[in-house]
Amino acid sequence: MDRIRIRGGRSLNGTIPVSGAKNAVLALMPAALLADSPLHLSNVPDLADVATMSALLRQLGLSVEHDKAAKTLVMNGSATSNEAPYDIVRKMRASVLVLGPLVARHGIARVSLPGGCAIGTRPVDLHLKGLEAMGATITVEAGYIEARAPEGGLKGARIIFPVVSVGATENLMLAAALADGETELVNAAREPEIEDLALCLMRMGARIEGLGTGHLRIQGSTSLTGAQHPVLPDRIEAGSFACAAAITGGEVLLAGARLEHLGTVARVLREAGVGVNEEPAGLRISRLNGLHGVDVVTEPFPGFATDMQAQFMSLMCLAQGASMVTETIFENRFMHVPELNRMGARINVHGSSAIVRGVPSLSGAPVMATDLRASISLVLAGLAARGETIVNRVYHLDRGYEQLEQKLAAVGADIERLS
C-alpha cells in the first residue's frame, strides 16, 4: 500500500492549478442516465472516485470515455441494467446518485446501500422520502434499495427537507428533471456543486428556477438531450491548498479558484491572519503577520464547509492562542485528532467540539489516514513539521486530490510517494 513521505519546513511559493471539483463531477455523471444523446463534461479531474462512478455507469450499460490528458468525459447510451451492485457502490457513497435518474427514466432501480469514508452514518432516508413523495414505492431489503415509479412515471411534488442535504438535493433534482409536473425542493442545499448540476441539467433541456437559493423549482420534461458542460473548480481543493500556503508561511496563486465558492472559509482564513486576494487568474494566498486562533462551526454552504474542518484544524495547531472547532454535519469526524497529537499538536475533543491550543512547532511522525479530508490534514501538518512525516493509507487521497504530490512539489514541498 502506498505511503507519502514529507520532509517539512519548506515554505510553498508559486502557482497551483485547481482541478475540477470532485463533488461536482460525481453528481454530473449520473445525469447522463437521463439523456438521449451524449453528455460531454470538461475540466474533469483524474480521481479514483471518477473511475468508480465510470465503472458504475458502464455496469448500467452506458459507454464512458475518459480522456485524462484532455480532462474530458463523454457518456452515452441508455441503461440496460437497473441494478447498482454492492461491489461498486460500497467504494463510494456518491454512487447512490444513480437512484433518482434510473427511477425517473426507467421506472425501477435497485441500488446497494452506499459506502464511502468512515465519518458517520450519513443515512439516505431523505433521498427515499423524497422519491416516495414523487410516487415511488421504496423497499429496503438485503442491503439494497429498490425503488419503483408509479404507472405513468414519477410525479412532481413539494418536498421540504427537515435538514439540508447535498446528496438528497442532487438525487431529487435528477429525478425531478423527468418527472411529470413541477417539483419544489424547500430547504434545498445551496452549495456551488448544486448550482453546477442545475446549470448542466438546464443545458440538457431542464427548466429550473431558484439557483443559489434554498428553494428550487424544477419543471419536469418528457425527455432530455445531451450537452457540453465544464465542471466548476474544486473549492475544497482550493481551500486545502490555501491552508498549505498559510501553514508553511508561503505565497501561492491558486489558478482557477473562485472566491465566491469558498463562502465562510475565506472570511475565517482572513480572521486567522491569512491573505486571501482575488485576481483575474485565481486567488492569491499568503500568511500575513502570524496565525491567530479562530473558532469555527461547520455548517451547510455558505457556512464553513465540513470538508474543510480537518485542514483548518491543522492550521490552528500552529496559531497563537486557542481555537474551538465544532462539527455539526457528521459525527465521528475527528479521527485525525490523535494523529495530529502524535506530531505534537495540543487538541482535546469534547463531544462535537475540539479545543486546539497552538504550539510553536510540530514534529514529523508516522501517521495513519482515516478518511479523505483527514488525509490531507496530515499532509498539511507534515509540510510544516520539523523532520520527516510518513502518511500511511493514502488511497483516501487518490479519491479526492488529483496529482497531489506533483502539485505540492512544484511549489517547493519535499514530498514523494513511496510504493
* Binding site residue list: 22-23, 93, 122-126, 307, 329
Q: List Cα–Cα distances, 56 to 46, 64, 158, 285, 337, in angstroms.
A: 16, 10, 30, 38, 34
Q: Which residues of the chain are in CATH 3.65.10.10 domains? A: 3-19+233-418, 22-230
Q: What is the DSSP string of 201-225?
A: HHHTT-EEE-TTSSEEEEE--S-B-
Query: Rg of the chain's alpha carbons, rounded to an integer?
Result: 21
What is the pTM for the complete model shown? 0.94
Write out the catalytic residue numbers.
Answer: 117
Q: Which residues are annotated as a binding site for phosphoenolpyruvate?
A: 22-23
Query: What are the binding residues for UDP-N-acetyl-alpha-D-glucosamine?
Result: 93, 122-126, 307, 329
What's the pLDDT at 115?
54
Which CATH fold would you assign to the domain 22-230?
UDP-n-acetylglucosamine1-carboxyvinyl-transferase; Chain (3.65.10)
The number of CA neighbours under 13 Å toward the Cβ of 305 is 25
Start-to-end CA span in the chain (Å)? 7
The amino acid that residue 54 corresponds to is S
All three cell numbers of 34, joined, read 437521463
Check if the beta carbon of residue 140 is closer than 8 Å to that of residue 151: no
Alpha carbon distance 157, 77 (integer Å): 28
How many CB atoms lie under 10 A from the CB of residue 27?
Answer: 25
Question: CB-side exposure of 188: number of CA atoms within 13 Å?
Answer: 29
Give the relative orientation of helices 309-316 and 372-384 as an angle to the nearest 10 degrees.
20
Which residue, among 388, 312, 412, 406, has the nearest Cα to 7 in the 3D structure? 388
Helix, strand, coil percent content, the chain, rounded in steps of 5: 35, 30, 35
Distance (Å, whole) CA 184 – CA 170 = 13
pLDDT along the chain (419 residues), means of 10: 94 98 97 98 96 96 97 96 90 91 97 59 82 96 92 97 96 98 98 98 98 97 97 98 98 98 97 97 95 96 95 98 92 87 97 96 94 91 98 90 97 96
What the block records as the C-alpha cell of 203 is 443545458
- In the CATH hierarchy, which fold is given to the domain comprising 3-19+233-418? UDP-n-acetylglucosamine1-carboxyvinyl-transferase; Chain (3.65.10)
Determine the pLDDT at residue 371.
Answer: 85
* 326 neighbors 261 (Cβ within 8 angstroms): no
Q: What number of residues does the chain have?
A: 419
